[in-house]
Structure 1
Amino acid sequence: MLAGNIPVGGRCDVTTLAELAGISRAALYRTHRALKDDFDRSLFLRRTAGEVPDPREARIATLKQTVDTLTTRLREREATITELREHQRQVRSQLLVQHEEILTLRAILAQRPVVLPTASDQKLGGDTD
């Protein structure tokens, strides 16, 4: 099992070791204590050396790392969305102020009388013969 040959549905643990040996887990603890201790010691040494004999544990470790990476990315995206929403709110506020200013200027222009240039105004301002 320590080499990664774990039966389907099993794990790299004492329970699966007892099943493979054809004995109960309790018998492994009482009668075959040396086998259990040797298994635990070998498993500990492999794990401290960075080996993961149980492919499920390796998969779990990989998935945990993936979850951490995705969680970080999600937090970054949420922060970006918050910043963009704040920027959008500011831009809308500026547009509203500008729109109100345009409406005010249009109202002022609408109140002024329209004065069209006369023929004498055109002669005074533009002809330099």
Structure 2
Amino acid sequence: MARISTEARARNEEAVRAAMDRLLKGDLPHGGSCDLKTLATEAGVTRTAFYPKKNRDGTKRPGPYQHLAEEFERRLRALQETGHIVDPRAAQIERLKTQVSELKERLARRDETVAELTAFKELAVSRLAAQHDEIQRLRQQSANVTNLRRLPAGSIRES
């Protein structure tokens, strides 16, 4: 693998820092997000340059721009901890998660209300049925009694 010159490395680091500043300000390219992949694409460097490498003997060494990746992640984390959301898609995801949880709570309350109303309806219908049966029984009983006289309508006066 060819090594790059000191000047090329300095230019690449400048490009990475400029891209880092743009991304952290929220200036994201269409379809991109605030991550290392987009940072590499915007800076024009390979993404693998942000990760550690292995020597031939198996030992690890830092990638050429790993320190910049760590700086980017540190700055991004600091922004997130202060409540600033750089990526509009991440903000939308958070907003939608909040909305989903609120809707789940509303749905649970509605389910509870429906269950209460269903129980109330069943109780009311059973009471009405019992009252209807009692009225039918009393009518039948009064029809079988011969010593009862019906009063003409309007004969009851209010006092």
Letter in structure 1 aligned against 2:28: I
Q: C-alpha offsets along residues 3-33 of structure 1, whole Å, 9 cap, x if unaligned?
A: 1111111110111101111122102322211
- Which residue in the other structure is 1:10 paired with? 32
- Which residue in the other structure is 2:16 paired with? none
Q: Shift in Å at residue 113 of structure 1? A: 2.9
Considering fraction of residues, name the structure with more helix. 1
Q: How does 1:86-105 map to 2 (within 5 A)?
A: 86-105=119-138
The reply to whether residue 75 of structure 1 matches residue 108 of structure 2 is: yes
- Which residue in the other structure is 2:139 paired with? 106
- Which residue in the other structure is 2:18 paired with? none
Percent of residue pairs identical = 38
The reply to whether residue 31 of structure 1 matches residue 53 of structure 2 is: no
Q: Which runs of 5+ in 1 are unaligned?
A: 118-129
* TM-score, normalisation: structure 2: 0.69
Q: Shift in Å at residue 114 of structure 1? A: 7.0
Q: Shift in Å at residue 41 of structure 1? A: 1.1
Letter in structure 1 aligned against 2:64: T
* TM-score, normalisation: structure 1: 0.84
Q: Which runs of 5+ in 2 are unaligned?
A: 1-22, 52-62, 151-159
Letter in structure 2 aligned against 1:11: S
Letter in structure 1 aligned against 2:123: Q
Q: Shift in Å at residue 112 of structure 1? A: 2.4
